[in-house]
Amino acid sequence: MNSSSQATRIVVTGGAGYIGSHVVLALGEAGYDVLTYDNLSTGNRDAILSGELVVGDLADKDLLVKTLTEFKPAAVMHFAASIEVGESVVDPLKYYRNNSVNALNLLEALRVTGTGQMIFSSTAAVYGNPAQLPVTENTPLQPINPYGASKMMTERFLDDLAQANADFRYVALRYFNVAGADPETRLGQDYANPTHLITRALKTALGVFSRLQVFGTDYPTQDGTCIRDYIHVADLAQAHLDALRYLSTGAQSAVFNCGYGHGFSVRDVVAMAKEVTGIDFPVVETGRREGDPAELVAGCEKIHRELGWQPRFDDLKVILRTAWDWEKKLVARGG
């Protein structure tokens, strides 16, 4: 039996991944007792800088129930998911199984063990190609790829469970484009084949990739490339702690956008990456990538008002600089 107070015990699924590991670190620094549950398929054991690790898959309901029963957390934060939009279009069943079916397994385990609070890692991809910008939490959900659809289904699971069970409450955080790295360079994105624009741009600057591809220059935007709302991963981690405190007050289930409320085009990001690195790396413009909306910018008044969230890194140059410091550290250690 864990000796810490139940109120401070948190289980984090997918806590060895990029965003999850930053949240695990923030939880540990805030005094929480954290258990990471991760199958390490894309996560890194070394990225878990606080608490303990159980290596397990969300498909293993028996291990899930055993872990929750023994640890007795006050809440679960659920990050474990497949996240690549392009791959979801090519292999949709993988996304529905990993993101929707496995989320259902987790919710069944929560019900069996009486775990009454969950914070869910959702996505702006649930909005699809919205008719109006910025998008608010009330914007209709019309995902245009299986990744967004799989996350939307899990949000529906959560809402239906909360409606049916007064003892269960949740917060779904709809992330916009998460980027950057821990400002102290303890953590960052560390995937074998990253697809995120900022990471690929910086790795191209380092020579890991021979060129950076820009997918689509004919979108109905100012410069023809996609526009995204980039949020620093450390600010996003803070939003999870704010959501945890929100639920601890007995507040009702809720959904919040996580972004800064303004966007940058692909060309804006490429130009800033060249400025931050001081390297004029090769860029090749090519056709659109299936499943990409033209523009996604968050309406984020609700998260400020109801969670009291106060971001500290709302600056594209700062986002890129922290990510660049991390990439250079990976090179220095041979990663």
Tokens for 116, please give them. Answer: 């009454």
Cβ neighbours around 6 below 10 Å, total: 12
> Are the C-beta atoms of residues 201 and 149 closer than 8 Å to each other?
no
HSE toward the beta carbon, residue 136, CA cutoff 13 A: 4
Query: Is position 147 annotated as part of the catalytic site?
Result: yes
**Distances from the Cα of 58 to the Cα of 12, 103, 204, angstroms:** 12, 8, 34
Annotated catalytic residue, options 37, 147, 170, 230? 147
Nearest to 307 by CA among 173, 193, 210: 173
Give 3-state DSSP helix, strand, coil % of the chain, rounded to 5.
40, 20, 40
Alpha carbon 103 to its chain centroid, in Å, reads 15
Please state whether beta strands 33-38 and 52-55 pair in parallel, antiparallel, or not at all (unpaired).
Answer: parallel
Q: What is the C-alpha separation between 238 and 7, in angstroms, rounded?
A: 18
- Tokens at residue 56, please? 């397990």
Residue 217 neighbours by CB under 8 Å, 6+ apart: 223, 224, 225, 285
3-class SS of residue 54: strand
What are 314's two structure tokens?
């709302």
Q: Which amino acid, residue 251?
A: A
Task: Provide the token pair at 198.
Answer: 């900022």
Nearest to residue 170, comparing CAs of 156, 158, 152?
158
The residues, any chain, with a CB within 8 Å of residue 62's CB and separated by 6 or more, are none
- Angular region, 12: left φ>0, alpha ψ -120 to 50, beta rest: beta
Residues with active-site annotation: 147
